[in-house]
Amino acid sequence: MSVRYIPVQWNRFKWGYDAALLASVGVFLWAFLRVTPEDLGHERDVSGAIRNARAFGACAFVMLTGILCIGPLARLDTRFLPLLYNRRHFGVVTAAVALTHFSFVLDWYFAFSPAGKYEALLFANTSFTNGVAGFPFEAFGIFALLSLLILAATSHDFWMKFLTPPVWKGLHYLIYPAYAAVVAHVAWGALLDQENTTFAWVVHVGALLVVGLHLGAALSGRDAAKPRTAGWVDAGDPATIPEGRARIVTLASGDRVAVFRHEGALSAISNACAHQNGPLGEGRIIDCLVTCPWHGFQYDVRTGRSPAPFTEKVPTYALRLEGGRLLVSPDADPPGTPQRPVPVHRGRTT
Amino acid sequence: MSERPFFVGYLGLPRGLRFMTLALAVSLLIGGGLLATVIARAKDDPGPGTFRFDYGRQTVTGIVALTPTPILHVTKGSEHIEAGRTLMLSGQGKNGALLRARALEGRLANASGILLTRGDLDMMQLVCGEAGLGPADGDAPMAPEPEDLGRWELAGEICDGKCAAGAMRPGTGIAHKACASLCILNGLPPVFISTRPIEGETFLLIAGTPEDPMPPELYDWVAEYVALKGQIVRHGDLLVLDIDTATLERTP
């Protein structure tokens, strides 16, 4: 959280995260490039530029697969949340690796010609309607690279404020079509060519892992049946909500509400963090403030407001008791609206 | 609800997550290296084609012929190029040698440059200007009479002769399709790599017209495995294939 924009809010964990990330990229590239033709029994090596393009391309694919696995992994097991905290740096480094792959390809396959490199990229293969095998797989790669560059360029919180969180979030869903395009780019380009099927297995397993983890996270986080009527929603026995934690309730509208218990009283706020829609209900109360599990944004549970000087606000919801059951209002109050907490006594609310 | 330690980035790693996070970082390092090795070791053999820089610059004399791609029937060889060989000619980079060769068609010429070889495919990348391809003194002897070998049914791949000869490794295949098309568009010799030898030759030069060094219908088929029929004519020790474009079909 910050009240002003600075390039990176460094902290010790981020330094460690980025060091491990860059070291892993370095090890991947070193390991890829150190395999010699003698190791493989080949008379001659692949051209240097092609070898480099393959190394950076394979690295970008593996990194993008990893990025897309982090979200569902963190939903399935909170011990993976540290991977998610600095995921945007992961994304920026991936875009840089993909751009390097593109540079090697452009300066090799599309260079040395009277036509400009970028021009040649557009006209050299235009077999769009001539069957599957010769389809210009470069188009998939260009789309994926442009998407990654847009996501990297807009990854800073400035752009989220500027574009508004819903637009920013929507824009960053571009990562999914970008990944599909990368898989198609690899399948139509590298895989159709190769006799050795090892890389095909890597790509298939990677893509299936991404799909499988997302399905698993979606199934595990499935809401209880939505209420059929639009009235107040039963949030269960209030005494069973642990101190400092929340129960997530789904409204008929589909919106999710986090009902927190703090110092013996219950309050309800939207489950979506104002920062990046992180699941506030999976967070905890630290220093009297609800703390988002994704990036640590904090809110006063009674008002939905971040502590001064921060200005983030989330919607709040009214609560009431009926027959020992806790009920949540179906209507959100405007972000930052104070609500009177509902006290809990001896395992029962009053 | 789980009692696992709660992570907040700016507060540092809680004690209960330190081992897990360290294990993840180490796994990322080791796993990345192992995965990269597995992928790198899976690459196919790019073939033996290469620039013969080790031979140095070669200068030969011969008769220029156009198919319309320029070829040279060598009459006076060099240390590594015997008289009687037929060379395909190319310029630097993705540039053909057709403009230089047109004025010399049927004449005796000196050609100088770097040899590229791959199996029975020989190509010379000419140095720039007349130093690369210029008229030679003396009358041109008779060029080898073209020999019609009849109509053949072939399977293989259309690509550019320079990359296939080893200017790029690999210089064939789908991933190389755009580059091959660009090379051919710029006048480099289009070749057909047959899956089985024809009269002992695997690489066949594709014939075109003065306007189109390669029939335009063929561009969509470049770099794919195709079956086709065509007329084959021997020019010296080089086979030239005139493709019947109506017979083209993809092979699995």
Residues of chain A found within 8 Å of residue B223, distances taken between Cβ atoms: 134
Residue of A34, A112, A198, A261 best to disrupt the B interface, most CBs of B under 10 A:
A112
Residue of B nearest to A70 (CA): B24
Name the residue among B181, B179, B202 with its Cα closest to residue B192: B202
Render pLDDT for B11-35 as a digit per residue (tens, 0 to 9). Answer: 888 888 899 999 999 999 999 999 9
Determine contact: A63 vs chain B, CB below 8 A: no
CB B7 to CB A43 under 8 A? no
CATH superfamily label, A233-349: Rieske [2Fe-2S] iron-sulphur domain (2.102.10.10)
Q: Enumerate residues 6+ apart whose C-beta is below 8 A from A291.
A: A283, A284, A285, A297, A298, B6, B8
Q: Nearest CA to CA, how far is A245 from chain B (Å)?
A: 8
Q: What integer pLDDT is reported at residue A1 of this predicted model?
A: 56
Q: Nearest CA to CA, how far is A120 from chain B (Å)?
A: 7
Q: Does residue B77 have a pLDDT over 60?
A: yes
Q: Does residue A228 have a pLDDT over 70?
A: no
Residues of chain B found within 8 Å of residue A291, distances taken between Cβ atoms: 6, 8
Residue B53 DSSP SS3: helix
Determine contact: A47 vs chain B, CB below 8 A: yes
Residues of chain A found within 8 Å of residue B21, distances taken between Cβ atoms: 82
Confidence of residue A6 (pLDDT cuts 50, 70, 90): confident
CB B220 to CB A130 under 8 A? yes
Q: ipTM for the complex?
A: 0.92
Residues of chain B found within 8 Å of residue A124, distances taken between Cβ atoms: 178-179, 181-182, 185
Sign of CA pseudo-dihedral A10, A12, A276, A213: positive
Confidence of residue A349 (pLDDT cuts 50, 70, 90): very low
Determine contact: A54 vs chain B, CB below 8 A: yes
Average model confidence (pLDDT) across chain A? 91
Residues of chain A found within 8 Å of residue B20, distances taken between Cβ atoms: 79
Q: Nearest CA to CA, how far is A208 from chain B (Å)?
A: 17
Q: How many helices (H) and strands (E) does chain A have?
A: 12, 12
**How far apart, in whole angstroms, are the C-alpha atoms of residue B17 and residue B4?**
9
What is the enclosing helix (H) or strand (E) of B247? strand B238-250
Render pLDDT for A135-155 as a digit per residue (tens, 0 to 9). Answer: 999 999 999 999 999 999 999
CB B40 to CB A35 under 8 A? yes
Give A15: exposed, middle or buried? Use CB within 10 Å, 0-12, 13-18, 19+. exposed
Residue of B nearest to A80 (CA): B21
Residue of B2, B8, B168 best to disrupt the A interface, most CBs of A under 10 A:
B8
Name the residue among B206, B210, B200, B196 with its Cα closest to residue B153: B196
Render pLDDT for B173-227 as a digit per residue (tens, 0 to 9). Answer: 999 999 999 999 999 999 999 999 999 999 999 999 988 889 999 999 999 999 9
Q: Nearest CA to CA, how far is A261 from chain B (Å)?
A: 13
Which fold is adopted by the domain B147-250? Answer: OB fold (Dihydrolipoamide Acetyltransferase, E2P) (2.40.50)
Nearest to B44 among A114, A138, A195 (CB): A195
CB A127 to CB B219 under 8 A? yes
CB A189 to CB B39 under 8 A? no
Q: Nearest CA to CA, how far is B99 from chain A (Å)?
A: 14
Determine contact: A6 vs chain B, CB below 8 A: no
CB A120 to CB B177 under 8 A? no
Domain with CATH 2.102.10.10 in chain A: 233-349
Render pLDDT for A181-214 as a digit per residue (tens, 0 to 9). Answer: 999 999 999 898 888 999 999 999 999 999 999 9
AA identity, residue B97: A
Residue of B43, B184, B217 best to disrupt the A interface, most CBs of A under 10 A:
B43
CB A114 to CB B168 under 8 A? no
**How far apart, in whole angstroms, are the C-alpha atoms of residue A267 and residue B64?**
91
Q: Where are the alpha helices (DSSP H) in A42-164?
A: 48-76, 81-85, 87-109, 117-123, 138-153, 157-163
Q: What integer pLDDT is reported at residue A347 of this predicted model?
A: 47
Q: Nearest CA to CA, how far is A262 from chain B (Å)?
A: 16
Render pLDDT for A85-107 as a digit per residue (tens, 0 to 9). Answer: 899 999 999 999 999 999 999 99
Where along chain B do its domains lie?
50-135, 147-250
CB A218 within 8 A of CB B198: no
Q: What integer pLDDT is reported at residue B139 of this predicted model?
A: 85
Average model confidence (pLDDT) across chain B? 93
Q: What integer pLDDT is reported at residue B211 of this predicted model?
A: 84
Render pLDDT for A312-333 as a digit per residue (tens, 0 to 9). Answer: 999 999 999 888 899 999 999 9
